[in-house]
Amino acid sequence: MIGTAQTMTVIEKEEEFYILEKRGEKVKLPFTNAGNLELAIGDTETVFIYRDYDHEIVATTVIPKAQVGHYAWGTVTEVRKDLGVFVDIGIPKDVVVSMDDMPALNHLWPKKGDRLMIALRVDEKERIWGVLGEEHEFKEIATRATQDMFNQNVTGTVYRLLKVGTFVITEDLHIGFIHETERTSEPRLGQKLDGRVIAVKPDGTLNLSLRGRVHEVLSDDAEMILTYLRSVGGKMAFWDKSEPDAIRAKFGVSKAQFKRALGTLMKERRIKQEDGFTYLLENEDATESGN
Q: Tens digits of per-residue pLDDT, 66-124?
A: 999 999 999 999 999 999 999 999 999 999 999 999 999 999 999 999 999 999 999 99
pLDDT at residue 213 tops 70: no
pLDDT at residue 227 tops 70: yes
How far is Cα 251 from Cα 254, in angstroms, rounded to an integer? 8
**What does 184-198 look like in DSSP terms, one character per residue?**
SSPPPTT-EEEEEEE
Task: Give residue 75's Cα distance to chain centre.
Answer: 10
205-to-7, 32, 150 alpha-carbon distances in Å: 40, 45, 11
Residue with the bigger pLDDT between 86 and 253: it is: 86
pLDDT at residue 220 tops 80: no
CATH class of 72-118+128-133: mainly beta
**pLDDT confidence of residue 47:** 96
Which contiguous run of DSSP H or E holds residue 261? helix 255-267
**pLDDT confidence of residue 218:** 60
How far is Cα 234 from Cα 288, in angstroms, rounded to an integer? 10
What is the mean pLDDT of the segment spanning 197-209? 93
How far is Cα 21 from Cα 28, in angstroms, rounded to an integer? 9
Is residue 193 within 8 Å of 211, Cβ to Cβ?
no
pLDDT at residue 291 tops 60: no
Q: How confident is the model at residue 62 (pLDDT cuts 50, 70, 90)?
A: very high
**pLDDT confidence of residue 214:** 58
Say which DSSP state 24 is in. Answer: T
How far is Cα 125 from Cα 110, in angstroms, rounded to an integer? 27
What is the mean pLDDT of the segment spanning 190-196? 95
How far is Cα 154 from Cα 171, in angstroms, rounded to an integer? 8
Q: How many CB atoms lie within 10 A of CB 66?
A: 24
Name the segment(s) of the chain with CATH classification 2.40.50.140: 72-118+128-133, 144-209
Say which DSSP state 231 is in. Answer: H
CATH of 144-209, one of 3.40.50.2300, 3.30.420.40, 1.20.1250.20, 2.40.50.140: 2.40.50.140
What is the mean pLDDT of the segment spanning 17-25? 94
Q: Which fold has domain 214-290?
A: Arc Repressor Mutant, subunit A (1.10.10)
Architecture of the domain made up of 5-60: Beta Barrel (2.40)
Average pLDDT, the chain: 90
Name the segment(s) of the chain with CATH classification 2.40.50.330: 5-60
**pLDDT confidence of residue 253:** 87
Name the segment(s) of the chain with CATH classification 1.10.10.10: 214-290
Encode pLDDT of 124-162 as tens digits: 988 999 999 989 999 999 999 999 999 899 999 999 999
129-to-28, 66, 94, 159 alpha-carbon distances in Å: 21, 11, 10, 18
What is the mean pLDDT of the segment spanning 245-274? 90
How far is Cα 197 from Cα 175, in angstroms, rounded to an integer? 11
pLDDT at residue 217 tops 80: no
Size of the chain, expressed as the number of residues it contains: 291
How far is Cα 13 from Cα 36, in angstroms, rounded to an integer? 15
How far is Cα 30 from Cα 86, in angstroms, rounded to an integer? 23
How far is Cα 178 from Cα 231, in angstroms, rounded to an integer? 37
Is residue 178 within 8 Å of 161, Cβ to Cβ?
no
**What does 93-153 look like in DSSP terms, one character per residue?**
SPEEEEGGGS-SSGGGS--TT-EEEEEEEE-TT--EEEEE--HHHHHHH-----GGGTT-E
